[in-house]
């Protein structure tokens, strides 16, 4: 039996989970089950990292939360305002400046033209990119383009931000800088963030909650809370999670 994705009223978001995933499984056509019986509650304002090996169904689950696809079984409940999605590729309009790319999201949201410029500049300032507002994507580095993409996602003003390995293609130094920016933006905006990654250290660096998915089919096989982990213990936690991830990879290789 297929259960449709449903929304909850905005008035209930303060007390209910921002995202509720109940017994969700996903199969494409007659193929094997990709996700099997996923159940998760994500609290408002929480930063959750979905971690797992390539092909475990992380992006599939993110697409289901976004409403881009429907579960085969189970239900997903999100705020009525929906979610903003940020992908690995910035997907900026190449003929528009950084500011105009953000303004496009504001226009689609219904923001009056007279307010769009100032709001776009404020959002670019939020990601420390106001001085590049008039540059086109080809004039920006990969990290700068991802900052514009983040500003554009924030421009949608959705309570939930879904991020699908947005920093995977960046060099280590740029990725570290964007980790700092994202954490600062998260704390400033109070967004609920669901962040997909296969990088254990990235998950430990960013998430206050880490959910490990196994493979074939994807199911929850481990969970860690990082809020109370001291910085000196982060390496030990990363080693523990890496060990669990390796066990899953070996199990699926047999």
**125-169 residue pLDDT tens:** 999 999 999 999 999 999 999 999 999 999 999 999 999 999 988
Contact assessment for residue 217 and residue 34, using Cβ atoms and an 8 Å cutoff: yes
Q: Alpha helices of the chain — where are they, by DSSP H? A: 58-66, 98-109, 113-126, 142-155, 172-189, 200-206, 234-253
Structural domain boundaries of the chain?
6-82+158-253, 92-157
Query: Higher pLDDT residue, 142 or 9?
Result: 142
Q: What digits encode the pLDDT tens for the residues 22-48? A: 999 999 988 899 999 999 999 999 999
Q: Is the pLDDT of residue 237 over 70?
A: yes
The residue written with tokens 């924030």 in the block is 154
pLDDT attached to residue 228: 67
29: which DSSP letter? T
Six-digit token string for 15 = 């007390």
What is the pLDDT confidence band of residue 18, given thresholds at 50, 70 and 90? Answer: very high
What is the pLDDT confidence band of residue 11, given thresholds at 50, 70 and 90? Answer: very low
**pTM for the full model?**
0.88
Alpha-carbon span 6 to 189, nearest angstrom: 25
Assign 3-state DSSP to the chain and report helix, strand, coil percentages, each to 5: 40, 25, 35
Task: Starting at the earlier edge strand, list the strands of the sheet with 73-79.
Answer: 6-8, 73-79, 19-27, 33-42
What is the pLDDT confidence band of residue 9, given thresholds at 50, 70 and 90? Answer: very low
**Rg of the chain on CA atoms, in Å:** 18
Contact assessment for residue 32 and residue 83, using Cβ atoms and an 8 Å cutoff: no
The residue written with tokens 């960013």 in the block is 206
Beta-carbon neighbour count of residue 189 at 10 Å? 15
pLDDT attached to residue 229: 67
pLDDT attached to residue 44: 95
Q: Is the pLDDT of residue 119 over 90?
A: yes
pLDDT attached to residue 88: 86
User: Sign of the C-alpha dihedral, residues 122, 126, 128, 132?
Assistant: negative
What is the pLDDT confidence band of residue 231, given thresholds at 50, 70 and 90? Answer: low
Q: Averaged over 94-105, what is the pLDDT?
A: 96
Q: Do the bridges between strand 73-79 and strand 19-27 make them parallel or antiparallel, or are there none, so unpaired?
A: antiparallel
Six-digit token string for 216 = 């074939």
Q: How many CA atoms lie within 13 A of 226 on its CB side?
A: 26
Give the length of the chain. 254
pLDDT attached to residue 21: 97
Q: Is the pLDDT of residue 52 over 50?
A: yes
Q: Is the pLDDT of residue 12 over 70?
A: no
Q: Averaged over 199-216, what is the pLDDT?
A: 93
- Rounded to the nearest integer, the mean pLDDT of the chain is 89
Beta-carbon neighbour count of residue 8 at 10 Å? 16
Q: Averaged over 47-62, what is the pLDDT?
A: 93
Q: Is 69 left (phi over 0), alpha (psi -120 to 50) or beta?
A: beta
At the fourth CATH level, the homologous superfamily of domain 6-82+158-253 is P-loop containing nucleotide triphosphate hydrolases (3.40.50.300)
pLDDT attached to residue 10: 46
pLDDT attached to residue 216: 84
Angle at 160 (CA atoms; ends 156, 161), nearest 5 degrees: 70
Query: Higher pLDDT residue, 233 or 210?
Result: 210
pLDDT attached to residue 15: 66
Query: Higher pLDDT residue, 1 or 191?
Result: 191
């Amino acid at each position: 039996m297929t259960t449709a994705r449903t929304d909850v009223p905005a008035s209930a978001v303060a007390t209910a989970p921002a995202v509720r995933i109940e017994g969700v499984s996903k199969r494409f056509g007659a193929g094997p089950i990709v996700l099997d019986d996923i159940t998760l509650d994500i609290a408002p304002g929480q930063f959750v990292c979905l971690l797992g090996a390539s092909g475990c169904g992380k992006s599939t689950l993110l697409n289901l939360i976004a409403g881009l696809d429907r579960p085969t079984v189970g239900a997903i409940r999100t705020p009525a305002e929906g979610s903003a999605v940020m992908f690995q590729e910035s997907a900026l309009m190449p003929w528009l400046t950084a500011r105009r790319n953000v303004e496009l999201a504001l226009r689609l949201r219904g923001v009056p033209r007279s307010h769009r410029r100032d709001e776009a500049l404020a959002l670019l300032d939020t990601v420390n990119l106001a001085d590049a507002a008039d540059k086109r994507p080809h004039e920006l580095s990969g990290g700068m383009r991802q900052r514009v993409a983040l500003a554009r996602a924030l421009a949608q003003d959705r309570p939930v931000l879904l991020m699908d390995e947005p920093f995977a293609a960046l060099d280590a130094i740029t990725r570290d800088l964007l980790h700092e920016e994202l954490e600062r933006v998260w704390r400033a905006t109070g967004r609920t963030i669901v962040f997909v990654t296969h990088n254990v250290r990235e998950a430990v660096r960013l998430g206050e909650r880490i959910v490990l998915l196994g493979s074939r089919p994807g199911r929850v096989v481990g969970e860690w809370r990082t809020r109370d982990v001291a910085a000196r213990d982060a390496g030990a936690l990363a080693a523990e999670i890496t060990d669990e991830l390796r066990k899953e990879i070996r199990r699926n290789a047999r």
